[in-house]
Amino acid sequence: MKKVILKCKLKSRDAFEDKLSDIDLDFSPIYWQHDRIYVPRNYAPNSNFPRLIMRTEMKSVDKPPKYFFILRRHIEDSGVDIVEETAVSDYEKLVNIILQLGFKPIAEVSRRRQRLSMGEGTEIYLDKIDNIPGYFAKIESTLDPSDSVQSAKDDLEKTFFTLGESNFTDSPYFELQQ
């Protein structure tokens, strides 16, 4: 699945949420995610190398966690992210496969997250990342084959500007922790 993703460090979480509430958009309850990120042995930042992510997600303390395997690849030339996600029943076996394929663990990221659907194919996430001060908002928009990447990116920027935010970052959370 091809996505355009834009991330922004928020000036004020409350002000951001209030602006969305004013137009009758509200975030989901808070849930917890923990990502273990694996990269190829020759990984370099700002390259087109894939990242493999093993995600643990807990939406409620009275339910068991869910596990997901995510392949994420940012294509620098186009600004598009290729993202594939699948549920996993045996976390340990899949981690062993990842290691056997020659990937190495590079980072772990824990976050408290809220989600807001802005229609078909567009999601806003409100993230509080452990060990990074402040809050982040991230908009992910799924691209159709006929969609223009630049037009989609411009639309996401306009959305943030409308909400009073402009402190964009292209860095993944694990790079911001370092």
User: Residue 150: which CATH number?
Assistant: 2.40.320.10
Residue 49's domain spans which residues?
A: 2-176
- Compute the mean pLDDT over every residue in the chain, rounded to the nearest whole number: 92
Q: Is the pLDDT higher at 136 or at 75?
A: 136
pLDDT of res. 45: 77
The pLDDT tens digits of the residues spanning 8-46 come to: 999 999 999 999 999 899 999 999 999 999 999 988 877
| Domains in the chain, number | 1
- Distances in Å between the Cα of 92 and the Cα atoms of 55, 97, 100 are 12, 9, 12
Chain centre distance of CA 53: 11
- Residue 106 confidence (pLDDT) above 90: yes
The arithmetic mean of pLDDT across residues 65-72, rounded, is 96
Q: Is the pLDDT higher at 1 or at 3?
A: 3
Smallest CA-to-CA distance from 114 within 49, 173, 178, 59 is with 59
pTM over 0.85: yes
